[in-house]
Amino acid sequence: MPGMTDAIKIDVWSDIACPWCYIGKRNLEKGLAEASTDDNAPRVEVTYHSFELSPDTPTDFEGDESAYLAQHKGISADQARQMLERVTGVAAAAGLEYRFDLLKHTNTVKAHELLHFAKEQGRQLDLAERLMSAYFTEGRHLGRDDELVSLATDVGLNAADAREALQSGRFLPAVRTDQAQAEAYGINGVPFFVIDGKYGVSGAQPAEAFTQIVRQVWAEHRESVEA
């Protein structure tokens, strides 16, 4: 349509095993929901990109999440537990009930491959939500093909096609491309939000921060159309 304002593109680098990424996802959604009530509401397209926080993690990690944190960050078990308590409280404020007592730490590359398959099918946002919920609140094992296929079917994806996508490895290059782009941007922690390819927002910002930035960028879009 002539003169139509282009949608704001938000590219999100995240890992389904990152507790701050799920909080950031929820806060982004709340911020966009608030902006959607404006008279001239921003149009937004959100795309998720792969980032592995710990690519050397085995599929079956021996130990709970506090043991992983202590090992990965070189901190004491008490410090790890305190970190988990803090993030559980922040998650609760975002409306998420984290269950670190159930969580099964695992390698996430297969989950990232499945997200690229879901993107091809137009279901990436649905699957991102389903995977994070399964991981942080249900104690599902996201390193196993059977579990991932089951979760894919929950959002309407075909089970046989999802399994083929995982077993063929055909989406692994897309995962690596995302990771290379993150490196090119200088992203070394997630969540990281790139807005219109020019604004970077790091970390699980509060919902109102996302509302503010999309309103600002939407005003810029409108100005460019009217100029």
pLDDT at 3 over 70: no
The whole-number pLDDT of residue 227 equals: 65
CATH number for 8-226 (one of 3.40.30.10, 3.40.50.970, 3.30.420.310, 3.40.50.11720): it is: 3.40.30.10
What lies within 8 Å, CB to CB, of 69 at 6+ separation is 75, 80, 83, 84
* Band of pLDDT at residue 5, cut at 50, 70 and 90: confident
* Band of pLDDT at residue 224, cut at 50, 70 and 90: confident
pLDDT at 82 over 70: yes
Q: Are strands 44-50 and 8-14 parallel, antiparallel or unpaired?
A: parallel
% the chain with pLDDT above 90: 93
The one-letter amino acid code at 64 reads D
Output b/e per residue, 175-195; b: 16+ Cβ within 10 A: beebbebbeeeebeebbbbbb
* pLDDT, tens only, 91-128: 999 999 999 999 999 999 999 999 999 999 999 999 99
Section 203-221 average pLDDT: 97
Average pLDDT value over all residues in the chain = 95
pLDDT at 1 over 60: no
Q: How far is C-alpha 186 from the chain's CA centre?
A: 18
The whole-number pLDDT of residue 70 equals: 92
Section 182-186 average pLDDT: 96
- Name the residue among 38, 13, 11 with its Cα closest to residue 216: 38
* Residue 11 CB neighbour total at 10 angstroms: 20
Q: What is the dihedral of CA 61, 58, 170, 123, to 10 degrees?
A: 30
Section 32-54 average pLDDT: 97
* Band of pLDDT at residue 2, cut at 50, 70 and 90: very low
Section 17-33 average pLDDT: 98
The whole-number pLDDT of residue 225 equals: 81
* pLDDT, tens only, 56-73: 999 999 889 999 999 889
pLDDT at 27 over 50: yes
Contact 52, 15 (CB under 8 A): yes
227 compared with 42, residue with greater pLDDT: 42
CA pair distance 44, 88, nearest whole angstrom: 29
Map out the domains of the chain as residue ranges. Answer: 8-226
226 compared with 88, residue with greater pLDDT: 88
The whole-number pLDDT of residue 219 equals: 96
Residue 109's SS3 state is helix
Section 21-42 average pLDDT: 97
Q: Are strands 199-202 and 192-195 parallel, antiparallel or unpaired?
A: antiparallel
pLDDT at 74 over 70: yes
